[in-house]
């Protein structure tokens, strides 16, 4: 029994000596995008002066620690990449304030003592996670790339008897959970995809995709799509696909008209320059002598040309 107690004391002593006295205290609740966060560096043994301690952050790409209160070149590097970090020292406390945190604020932080003689002069890393969720987008599977720009995103018009597959997506700090529902119906599809086979007129209505964050229940985003099933005698251009083709045809005609106009203009310009002919180089006048017929009466007796 005494041997066991002695072994426990030895292990505790080793762990205590190998554990850093510095400690980073951060938020205990969930941090959402846009919140303000404050980290504080604490000395568990109260032996260090906080004026000789600084905060560092681990770069994701370079995997290097960067000091957050440096001046000179380091200051401009910090203001460029981590401008949201503000280090302050108040009443002997070392604080790191992050105002309106964004996704790039997530990362690993620590505090380090400037005294290099300390064997263990850094704290354990503190990981800050910022949860977020972007707006939901709904796309029709198999649609062309132009549908996102030329067709209404919340209105889908399809002919009777067609098959439709809708894909719901968003970006978040964690993979969200998706579900589909229809207004006025009591069914729900727990998936990001909704497949509707051989559409009928009663399938028309509003379909809503809901994305929920798995860890933060308050993060919920929705997107509603109005689906209209057209009757059999509808024109082809009344559908969403027909509308896209019609817009592409109009854009193509405009481009063709512009190219044709430029071609005609350049051809006429080239023809006009060609019809002018070469420049007349025989415009110089021959010299006029006194004894010649072209000369004016004069009393001078020289025969040098006047011009």
Sheet bearing 220-230, strands edge to edge = 155-159, 220-230, 205-212, 177-182, 188-189
Which pLDDT value is given to residue 11? 38
- Please say whether the structural domain 134-242 has been given the CATH code 2.60.40.10: yes
Q: CB-based contacts of 11: which residues, under 8 Å, 6+ apart?
A: none
CATH assignment, 19-128: 2.60.40.10
For the chain, the structural domain boundaries read 19-128, 134-242
Question: Which of residues 46 and 178 earns the better pLDDT score?
Answer: 178
What's the average model confidence in pLDDT over 181-207?
A: 93
> What Cα–Cα distance (Å) separates residue 63 from each residue in 56, 57, 58, 60, 108?
12, 10, 6, 5, 11
Which pLDDT value is given to residue 15? 41
pLDDT digits (tens, 9 = 90+) for 133-153: 999 999 888 776 656 655 667
57: closest CA among 46, 41, 73, 45? 41
pLDDT digits (tens, 9 = 90+) for 160-191: 999 999 999 999 999 999 999 999 999 999 99
Whether 19-128 and 134-242 share one fold: the answer is yes
Three-state secondary structure call for residue 212: strand
Helix residue ranges per DSSP H, 208-283: 240-275
pLDDT band at 251 (very low <50, low <70, confident <90, very high): confident
């Amino acid at each position: 029994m005494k041997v066991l107690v002695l072994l426990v004391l030895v292990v505790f002593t080793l762990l205590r000596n190998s554990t850093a006295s510095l400690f980073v205290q951060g938020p205990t609740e969930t941090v959402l995008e846009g919140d303000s966060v404050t980290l504080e560096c604490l000395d568990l043994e109260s032996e260090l002066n906080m004026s000789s301690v600084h905060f560092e952050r681990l770069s994701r790409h370079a995997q290097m620690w960067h000091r957050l209160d440096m001046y000179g070149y380091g200051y401009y590097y910090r203001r460029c990449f981590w401008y949201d970090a503000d280090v302050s020292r108040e009443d002997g406390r070392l604080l790191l304030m992050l105002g309106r945190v964004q996704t790039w604020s997530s990362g690993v932080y620590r505090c380090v003592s400037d005294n290099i003689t300390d064997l263990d002069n850094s704290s354990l890393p503190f990981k800050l996670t910022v949860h977020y969720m972007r707006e939901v987008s709904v796309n029709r599977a198999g649609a062309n790339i132009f549908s996102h720009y030329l067709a209404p995103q919340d209105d889908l018009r399809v002919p009777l008897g067609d098959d439709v597959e809708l894909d719901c997506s968003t970006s978040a700090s964690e993979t969200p959970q998706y579900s589909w529902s229809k207004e006025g119906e009591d069914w729900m599809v727990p998936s990001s995809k909704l497949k509707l086979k051989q559409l009928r007129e009663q399938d028309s209505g509003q379909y809503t995709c809901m994305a929920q964050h798995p860890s933060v229940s308050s993060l919920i985003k929705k997107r509603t799509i109005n689906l209209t099933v057209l009757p059999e005698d509808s024109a082809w251009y009344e559908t969403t696909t027909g509308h896209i083709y019609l817009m592409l045809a109009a854009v193509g005609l405009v481009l063709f008209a512009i190219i044709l106009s430029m071609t005609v203009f350049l051809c006429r310009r080239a023809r006009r320059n060609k019809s002018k002919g070469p420049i007349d180089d025989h415009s110089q006048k021959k010299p006029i002598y006194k004894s010649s017929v072209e000369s004016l009466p004069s009393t001078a007796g020289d025969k040098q040309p006047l011009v």
